[in-house]
Amino acid sequence: MAQIIAMHSHRGGTGRSSIAANLARLMADAGHRVGLVDTDIQSPAAHVLFGVTELAPMATLADYLIGRCEVEDAATAVPTAPGGAELFLVPARAEAAGIHEIIAQGYDVGLLREGFDRLIKALRLDVLLLDTHAGLNNETMTAVASAQTLIVVTRSCRLDLTGAGETIEFANQIGCPRRVLLVNMVPPGVGSAHARLRAEAAYGTTATAVLPYAPELACVAGDRLFAAAHPDHPLVAQFRAVIPSLMDEE
C-alpha cells in the first residue's frame, strides 16, 4: 500500500515546499515510485523548484478540480538519478486565471481525495507526497486527513513556534496516525541543540531532524533541484537520513 505523506507548516517561508521537492527526488532516486502533488493553489512552488517554469499547455491540479481534465493528465514525469524510479509532479496551477476560476466556480473538495487515490493506482506509486498551503484551508485539511504521516516543518524562531498550539490541535482533530517534526533553516550562530529544544518544547514531541540554513539552496531554486545540483551536500545527507523514518525502513 502506498504511503501518503502530507507536508504542513503554520506559516509560510519555512522551506516546506523545498523539503517536499527534495525528499520526493531522493525517494525516487532510492527506488520508490513517487508522486508529488502541489495542493497549494494559492501560492504554488513545486513546479519552480523542479525547473518547470512554463506550465502551459500542461494540465494542473486546478484544471482537474474544475473539471477540465482527469487528475492523471496533470501528472508529468520529472528527472531522477540514473537507475532511480519514476517521479511524477502534479503542479497546482499554471497562471493567475486558475485561482480566479476556482474562486468563481468552486469545486467539490472530495475530488481531492478521489484524485489522490486515482494517482496512486494509475501511476503505481509507492509514495504520494502532498505539499500543502501554510496555515489551514480546505485543501490543507483534506490533504492531511488523507495522509498516514504528517510532516510539520517549522523554524525555531518565536514567530513560527507561537503557531505550535494551533498545529497540534489541528493534527489532533484530523487524527493523522504519525507525525514528524522537522526544524528547518537554523541560522549560523544558533546551535542545533538549542533549536531542537525550543521546537520540541513548543510541539511536545521529538524533532526528527534539525536542518541548517544553506544559502546554496536558494541559489539553485528554479534552475536545478538542490538534491540534484549538490548531491554530496551535508544538507542532502540529512534529507536522506529522514527518509527511512517516513518509509518504515528504520
The pLDDT tens digits of the residues spanning 23-77 come to 999 999 999 999 999 999 888 899 989 888 776 668 999 999 999 999 999 999 9
Q: Which of 104-108, 132-136, 161-165 has the lowest mean pLDDT?
A: 104-108
DSSP state of 187: P
pLDDT score of 96 = 64
Cell of 7: 507536508
Hey, what's the torsion of the CAs at 101, 110, 9, 174, to 10 degrees? 150
Residues in the chain: 250
Average pLDDT for 238-244 = 96
DSSP state of 222: T
| Neighbour tally for 100: CB within 10 Å | 11
pLDDT score of 99 = 72
pLDDT score of 56 = 63
pLDDT score of 222 = 62
According to DSSP, the β-strands at 127-131 and 87-90 are: unpaired
Average pLDDT for 212-234 = 86
pLDDT score of 151 = 96
Query: Which pTM value belongs to this model?
Result: 0.94
Which phi and psi angles does 32 have, rounded to 5°?
Answer: -95, 135
Alpha-carbon separation of residue 129 from 21, 126, 178 (angstroms)? 9, 10, 14
- Per the CB < 8 A criterion, the answer to whether 221 and 240 are in contact is no
Cell of 44: 504554488
Which domains occur in the chain, in start order? 3-246 (3.40.50.300)
**Percent of the chain surpassing pLDDT 70:** 96
pLDDT score of 148 = 94
Q: Which of 123-132, 154-163, 187-196, 241-250 has the lowest mean pLDDT?
A: 241-250
Q: Which of 59-63, 68-72, 91-95, 238-242 has the lowest mean pLDDT?
A: 91-95
Site of grid cell 494542473? 60
- Residue with more model confidence, 44 or 127: 127
Average pLDDT for 12-29 = 96
Alpha helices (H) along the chain: 16-29, 46-49, 61-65, 96-105, 110-123, 138-146, 158-161, 164-174, 192-203, 215-220, 226-229, 234-246
